[in-house]
Structure 1
């Protein structure tokens, strides 16, 4: 178990406060482990073990607590026996009907510190916003970064050079459990397949009461194969029509939203740098974990340019950047990144193998007049920085502590 200090630094200031700490992210991305890390740190600070109440609602042992009233009665009775503040840890809380009413009630009626996890973005919409408005903080957990992957893979790989380690990351991805099966190829593939089917069934199909399973599978396949490519629901509708499936663009967008709610995909909007406006067409989508893409559909090494882009995008999210796709005149910039006014531009390509490629990637910044850092990231081993634009090998870029 690694400490995931990047997340702990963000959570730590809120520990012990009356704000509800909400951890979200794709299924099996390490949310339960994060609860354990928080619990361990609280214990080390002097909190007594008997002050903790921990419930994982996917455990059948707690099936009798899947309504707000049942959970409220149980927790009220158990906290009455605790001397001092109660520390409540609820894993996969969305399994409880009307859970948000229950959590809000605890805030007012109990002396408690509350931590919850869930695998659906709508956890923080609708009723939760109504009941907790402004009295919660959200932390999204992502699969392992390359740095976290190395911490667990290197003891397994021995003296394997970092280039080989990165090749393994390209196909295995960053789902935490893979370390438990030592990143063995076939077991890893089977695990990721099962994870994908679990997300598709539990977090998308069942939760959204989808009946047209075939349509959902086709849309997921299309988006997964085309990660990082500009997307239009209308063009996908035409493609499906050519396969004898007539479907409205709005239906496609709804299905994709369900996938984004389950943290399977992330949508990136386009930004016009000249007009300073967000464009509502031709967004891009990236998958939460590129290892899932390889296990389910294959082709990560064939589509390495897209996969590298996906890896960089997820790293930008991990580090807290808001990300858009840039457009200025006829040129595109892969990522415009902003974190509280701290800005960054990133171009991603496989190899700067020709002068034409070099001119295209570095030339994307020709009309960007500000002084924020501008990067071109690739698999090349030699530094090709020029004109104030920094070139980085992707491994070095991912392992740098700071980019500014």
Structure 2
């Protein structure tokens, strides 16, 4: 009751419309009763009043109909002004429109599952969230370096770093909260190097468990979509090099200067989170990458149930190839070699499409990467055709000092393929509207 009394406070611009709605509703009800019962049948003081009205206006019901229409019109007008005043008080017009757009249009967008980890996954998520909120980010839990590795070792929890980045990428909240989650302490023996978001997830994990902590953090950041760890088990990576040497740990594998023959999970037989398998089964599009091939992408695919779910899904399946090779993991790798490594590990070719960059890289940026031992990933067309995967080549480079994917361009290609492969007749209009927003047709 107290909340209703607050609506009556002076200066809110609400009371006048509430009163007008009330009196116009009384007029509508009175007119309807008079039409149904007939004026002569109304008794008591109301009957005397209507008898007087009858003498003035005559027995014809036209004036009752006029009263009914006028009352209804006033009720609708006052209700509109009431809601307008209420919404204006709750949020600025732009935010109200954004909220309505998100709750209606974005929730009817394609269902996209993005599998990976690291910076590349976050880049794609930032682009996708502008067009759909039906996003599921499936994130690796094999990281063992930096703040994530320290929290993992001390608390026995899955590493929070990549999951934190995905949460922030999908966030639809105030920039300050995003900045807070990414803030990294620079001083202190115990806090130095830790990000606030990692510590927040660690604390929530102690209270709720890791998966529920991730979900609760998503609500805090009002994310568009879901972020899920691929498994709740505490995994480590083992790389077997071509010379037989075994290297343990994600942070060590990224540094070895020799070719990797095979990657394995320790322990083997880890089970995928049921919600991950459900998301894959119901997806319109499944995207793997961009990201580090051995330390961000393959660990997800080696978790039991993931590959079987992808294979069984009717979704269009895409692999986003990195723009540059990585100094140790994929030195001199071509686009086809990325696919061949995945096929060798999972036993099948998973993808309908591979998305590759064909945009030339500036000399200065190219030189800087060359000094580190990295180069653009070459598109070996003949070898790619032999894999059976169709190639989507586009200008994907984001302007700046690093060779990263452009989030909007990449998202448009992914969504364009998701819409073109959709067989859901009930979403035909939504798909047409999304295609209009995407604009330029995706590359073939």
TM-score, length-normalised on structure 1? 0.30
Larger Rg: 2
Compare the two structures and name the one with the higher helix fraction: 2
